[in-house]
Amino acid sequence: MEELKKYSLQEVSDYKVHGRTVPGACPLPLFFNGSAVEVNVSGSELWIDIEAGYHIHELWVTCEINGELMSRQMLMPGRYSLCLFRGMSPDAVKNVRFTRELQAMTEDEDCYLLVYGLQTDGTFYPVPKKKYTLEFIGDSITSGEGTYGAKADTDWIPMYMGYSRNYAKMTAEALDADAYLISQGGWGVLSSWDANPNCNIPSRYEKLCGLCSGPINESLGAFAPYDFAGRKVDALIVNLGTNDASAFVQPAWSDPATGQTFEQRLNPDGTFNENDLCRFKNAVIGFLKMLRKDNPQAHIVWCYGMLGYNLSLAINDAVNQYITASGDHNVIFLQLPDTTEETVGSHAHPGEKSHRRAAQVIIEYLQKYFQQ
């Protein structure tokens, strides 16, 4: 075995970055779940030099070798090296992907993950481009909450969240696509599950990582405007509305700083208040306009249904209103299979089986779309 050689990312001849980040940065921040560094490398051994920080929510990562999950682990805070493989045949070229499992954490200003470089006794080779590029936008479902853990587990902790068992990953792999993710548990199109109007994905979508918070992430460039021109997305898969439905059965949210309130109401007979439902539909239409402005070439698929169908008709109606008003027919509403007792995971969220069912619906639809 030859001596390991240490490379900063800037010295690595060929590597691929997954997810929204700062192009060419060293160290490289991995802001979102599914963000990753991927290499094709020979040699008998490979280490990755990283730095992790958090105050509340610990980071989880995975390592895949030749497309198979080899490890999933919690990171300790600090700067150190992790062994991704050792003792392998030195001449064989291995595909290795180091991936962040955990979503961006708005509640933890100190949560960050940096990649500084790699150590190996091998040689780096180009990583081939994928056929398509997809972006997935969502809430806890897209963050993979519930994909790990037993049905009885109800703690809201990073251990139960994962990109590695996520419908987005399943879809991307089946279609030979790269996947970008932007998701936040509890957030919606208009408000969060508890009717907080400040917690909506559209208000953060146009920042590189507007879901992060705090000076550390600001210094890493998270709050800078995102360069949409720097990447071409073939399809946007939006999976939002679940938390907006929950907001209708919550009490009014009150801003602790101003005392202002916000509420999504039900009528006495349990139907949606028409004014509040219209406000939700307008939020959907407004987000579709933003998505089209930022991604003029992308096919937009608005998915919904993995945790109930309460707002299916409203979302479908909003999508149709947008199409009629804009003349943009490159948009569709796609209903996904609901989670059942057999497919539920931890924290009453969709489990791996539910994600597979949903992914299959999206895969079959996009296969037909791309063939056209």
Could you give the domains of the chain? 5-125 (2.60.120.260), 132-371 (3.40.50.1110)
pLDDT at 55: 93
Contact 346, 154 (CB under 8 A): yes
Distance CA 318, CA 110 (A): 38
Which string of b and e fits 144-167 if b means at least 16 CB within 10 Å? bbbbbbeeeeeeebbbbbbbbbbb
**Residue range 107-162, pLDDT digits in tens:** 999 999 999 999 999 999 999 999 999 999 999 999 999 999 999 999 999 999 99
What residues in the chain have per-residue pLDDT under 70? 1
pLDDT at 372: 87
Angle between helices 352-371 and 167-174 (to 10 degrees): 40
Mean pLDDT of the chain: 97
Contact 127, 38 (CB under 8 A): yes
pLDDT at 13: 86
Cα separations in angstroms, 71 against 98, 112, 131, 345, 355: 10, 20, 27, 21, 21
Task: Residue 168: count other Cβ atoms within 10 Å of its Cβ.
Answer: 30
Contact 302, 238 (CB under 8 A): yes
pLDDT at 32: 97
pLDDT at 1: 52
pLDDT at 23: 87
